[in-house]
Structure 1
């Protein structure tokens, strides 16, 4: 039997190494951006960065290089930039490394696959951002699993994982903490968080996640780290897990689909708990069955076929997104409402449809949670909540005591981090959907719309827009900031912008 000291020493060692490895990305180092949104997903650059405010496809371009399509963000370690891509037609995934000074390709590894992970039409099979510990890189593709390469492109290990079943395609990214690589695998049939040994790829532990609603489990969030805990944001809850074992330490229940990634400041967790019908202005007014039949039953059989179903009814209407992004016709879900599969909706099926949809009218919001609790902390550690104009995908950012969030339509909100007081909510004047998350350097926040407009504004109590820069291409990836340069990915290029 081992004595207490022999057990305690390796545990303490792993915890100390974990803290040291995490601190390596929080010491203001100007030449690393080792994972999605940099240090602990915060979006913060090191101090003293001198980035250009104004830039374009020709202005303040340090270099520009063509790359394969993907939505993963740049991962930077000293002179290396790591990215992923996918050629859907060829069924080829790619991992590649660029020289940070010149943008030239150092190496590329192509991974052919038999089947490409299914995505929604606005996503792509190369969503996940590479993570690195300065020795190796760790890459996740839903189509393959988790892969590890060294800095010269030699594959070190691979863990094959089943293609996850999700609504939109996997959006999470791996992180490295201590000796572990952590991956949030929210397959709707087998949701879990997994920990791998960073050197060998061996699975050290995995923690199954419960299903909390009649909807399937769902999460597109990247884990964040606090005080030896891994924090996972998923449908219906935010959870703190023990770093060494995966055991659930605490949980906070909330209406959400787990789309963005939380941020931490001063031991407070800020989470955008978005739900598709989470605000009254998004609620759909549905007719009763008699009205539906009276208006649309053209063949007078007292039932509604798909051809008769009205096209102006929408499950959600978000005009701020523009075009097809903002409107989801209810007719697209006709086969789900037709439970007996006779291609007709009867009174019982329609009334169940109305009941099911109105059940999703649950209040969402930007939530502030005091960290440090155990068990169910839904009520005990709740600090405040802002319930309007909550982003669907972009993560929040905390700067100098304020929380900023950006939603579709270019609506930016600024909230006091300690009280939840709204300081301003205004439009940036850059319309359309937003998938990229904000980053900050030298008191300036950079945020990209999917339409390719990068807005720069001051981090202050009032909105002061400094520039709106049009890159004339789609932007879904979040930028990286390293060594006085902004590394920004468009649909087909990676730019390095510098003064």
Structure 2
């Protein structure tokens, strides 16, 4: 789409130049003056087709958040001692690399000084060009896996914009000169505010959700002046994350928002449509043809997240150590109300059933009747659970979309954090445990489900270059797979450092932000 649009722009520029030259030749002002040569216009126009522009990775997940690189793929095999071009030590942070031209931008948190910064790194050799500290009076807190430098910067090649929940928006030119800042109240939420801004046209767009405020914002990229602000009606609660990045579809802005997916007019901020769904709004949507595809996830959205409980006889048989046919507080096993069974390496990976919740008379002993009452309540509660899923919505919808017009491509195996990705007729998504699912976009049929050999928690989203799919586990395992109906594992690479940030690919080079560094891999 982008290359087609650019070609049209090129030919329009050439045609307009020819028309102006013809008119100029007939003008009385043309005597003694030479019009600008046509070839100069062609050179300028063709510069729009520069591979540098098309190969940039200017925001989270690259061009429009698709996760798909436009250049060639990096090597299949890589690691600390193989095909590594350079490694630059960095302070902590989970922001992904933003790459424009020969510059890479990331955000960092120096935990000793509790200072937040934007850093510019030379793409060719990993040297740090500049670092700009962002003044804060208090650092945002969140989930143990959260880092206050989790939001990925965005750049249009003339400026770079970064967001911190501890500060707000700040904009620098490519040499590190501050152009403007837009301070915001300290964000407060259970998960932490890891939303990433985008630059589209003359606008910077930010979706900000937390207990303090909840809105979609557009500001002028040159000055930071507010263009429009849309307060969100949905109350922000502890189960919300709202960290998905907005994407653009023609003149529409699409956001994965609190308990919904929404579209807005890019110029005015007027809402165009709303699809209600039970979701924590963690992942970023993608465009697939004329549809928006979104991984909606909630804590009780599928059976694998809500373990069932044994009956009382089984509970006693397995845990009654003193033989009194009851369960004391010391004998009560670890049972979960909700549990990420494949993400146990991450902190707070579920909600345990506390003994006090079932011991109604508070005598520190669980009887058959008490357990029976609890299980009845639990069965009633389970009836209120709302399924989540990978959904597809017509991008040209209007108003409040009825459930019958929301297509479900999958209802299980849904990732909590990683965003889906599209290639050919397939949509791929990976969840904790490295469980990779392939579905047909048109039919919603599951084609395959495999293990990538990357285990444990997955925060990074998958990315594609050429016919290769790259999946990243939190422990630093990066799996490279051959794309297809059933992806084939080609290599399992151990980076040696934990990775929560989504990698980037530009011109056949893979850039990986770890907890400790930024690395480049290539040939």
TM-score normalised over the length of structure 1: 0.85
Residue correspondence of structure 1 range 159-174 to structure 2 within 5 A: 159-174=182-197
Q: Of residues 394, 397, 406 in structure 2, which corresponds to 1:373?
A: 397
Is residue 2:322 matched to residue 1:322? no
Distance 1:386 1:144 in 2: 38
Q: Of residues 464, 489, 492 in structure 1, which corresponds to 2:516?
A: 492
Aligned twin of 1:414: 438
Distance 1:61 1:279 in 2: 40
Is residue 2:430 matched to residue 1:383? no
Aligned twin of 1:91: 114
In the TM superposition, what is the alpha-carbon distance from 1:85 to its structure 2 partner? 0.4
Asked if the contact 1:93–1:110 (Cα under 8 Å) also holds between the matched residues in 2, the reply is yes
Is residue 2:335 matched to residue 1:313? yes
Asked if the contact 1:25–1:33 (Cα under 8 Å) also holds between the matched residues in 2, the reply is no
Aligned twin of 2:497: 473
Is residue 2:492 matched to residue 1:464? no
Asked if the contact 2:191–2:240 (Cα under 8 Å) also holds between the matched residues in 1, the reply is no
In the TM superposition, what is the alpha-carbon distance from 1:116 to its structure 2 partner? 0.7
Distance 1:431 1:278 in 2: 22
In the TM superposition, what is the alpha-carbon distance from 1:311 to its structure 2 partner? 5.2
Asked if the contact 2:345–2:457 (Cα under 8 Å) also holds between the matched residues in 1, the reply is no
Distance 2:49 2:261 in 1: 24
Residue correspondence of structure 1 range 146-165 to structure 2 within 5 A: 146-165=169-188
SS in 2 for 1:33: coil
24-33 or 127-136: bigger deviation = 24-33
Aligned twin of 2:45: none
Matched pairs, number: 468
In the TM superposition, what is the alpha-carbon distance from 1:292 to its structure 2 partner? 10
Distance 2:99 2:445 in 1: 36
Aligned twin of 1:7: none
Is residue 2:462 matched to residue 1:434? no
In the TM superposition, what is the alpha-carbon distance from 1:244 to its structure 2 partner? 1.6
Distance of aligned partners of 1:65 and 1:189 in 2 relative to their CA distance in 1, 3 Å threshold: closer
Q: Of residues 106, 129, 137 in structure 1, which corresponds to 2:160?
A: 137
Distance 1:238 1:491 in 2: 31
Is residue 2:292 matched to residue 1:265? no
Residue correspondence of structure 1 range 38-57 to structure 2 within 5 A: 38-47=62-71, 49-57=72-80
445-454 or 323-332: bigger deviation = 323-332
Q: Of residues 373, 388, 397 in structure 1, which corresponds to 2:421?
A: 397
Asked if the contact 1:28–1:46 (Cα under 8 Å) also holds between the matched residues in 2, the reply is no
Aligned twin of 1:14: none
SS in 2 for 1:320: coil
Question: Which string of whole-angstrom CA distances, capped at 9 and with x for unpartnered residues, describes residues 204-240 of structure 1?
Answer: 1110111269866541110011121111112311000
Asked if the contact 2:457–2:473 (Cα under 8 Å) also holds between the matched residues in 1, the reply is yes
Q: Of residues 266, 272, 278 in structure 1, which corresponds to 2:301?
A: 278
SS in 1 for 2:64: helix
Asked if the contact 2:481–2:488 (Cα under 8 Å) also holds between the matched residues in 1, the reply is yes
Distance 1:474 1:333 in 2: 35
Asked if the contact 2:336–2:352 (Cα under 8 Å) also holds between the matched residues in 1, the reply is yes
Distance 1:400 1:261 in 2: 19
Distance 1:470 1:61 in 2: 12
In the TM superposition, what is the alpha-carbon distance from 1:115 to its structure 2 partner? 1.1
In the TM superposition, what is the alpha-carbon distance from 1:462 to its structure 2 partner? 1.7
Q: Of residues 228, 234, 255 in structure 2, which corresponds to 1:232?
A: 255
In the TM superposition, what is the alpha-carbon distance from 1:360 to its structure 2 partner? 5.7
Larger Rg: 2
Q: Of residues 209, 212, 216 in structure 2, which corresponds to 1:186?
A: 209
Asked if the contact 1:367–1:384 (Cα under 8 Å) also holds between the matched residues in 2, the reply is yes
Which structure 1 residue ranges, 5 or more long, are not aligned? 1-23, 298-303
Distance 1:352 1:220 in 2: 36
Distance 1:218 1:157 in 2: 27
SS in 2 for 1:163: coil
